[in-house]
Amino acid sequence: MQKNSQNLPLEPNFWQKKSLLEMNETEWEALCDGCGKCCYRKYIQGRGRRERLYYTRVACNLLDVETGKCTNYPNRFKIERDCTKLTKKNLPDFGWLPQTCAYRLLYEGKPLPDWHPLISKDAHSVKTAGMLIPNGIHEKDVIDWFEFVIDEI
């Protein structure tokens, strides 16, 4: 039986057997591949049909840009007021999630990619597959985010 990052057992292929709404907290957390892309800053320019979403290489100060992991995951909401809490209820509001995000993929009825740790059974497969944003920089080290705009993540 597979285990999550807290070493708790997970039912094999649970994401294929349950809807997102049916998953327990352990399963929900295990869906995260740990790419850290949701921890990079983005901004919207314009309004209505002219609205455009920009992704950047500017990372939350808590993100380890080399591993894609939060350096203080249990306390992230206390430390970073802008930290995103993705839940079953608010998932439809997060169209900005990366196209490779497991939550987004399953919400859209798509399979997980081969490099996802639940498929590969390798905690380092995200980095090996090149899914981390290269050359990330912490927001404390940035003056103008526009200098760090990148294509969709």
Residue 152 lies in a domain: no
- Tell me how many domains the chain contains: 1
Residue 105 lies in a domain: yes
Residue 108 lies in a domain: yes
pLDDT in tens, 97-108: 889 999 999 999
pLDDT in tens, 10-69: 999 999 999 999 999 999 999 999 999 999 998 888 888 888 888 899 999 999 999 999
Residue 38 lies in a domain: yes
Residue 84 lies in a domain: yes
Residue 15 lies in a domain: no
Residue 21 lies in a domain: no
Domain interval for residue 75: 27-143
pTM for this entry:
0.86
Residue 2 and residue 118 in contact, taking contact as beta carbons nearer than 8 Å? yes
Angstrom distance (rounded) from CA 6 to CA 81: 25
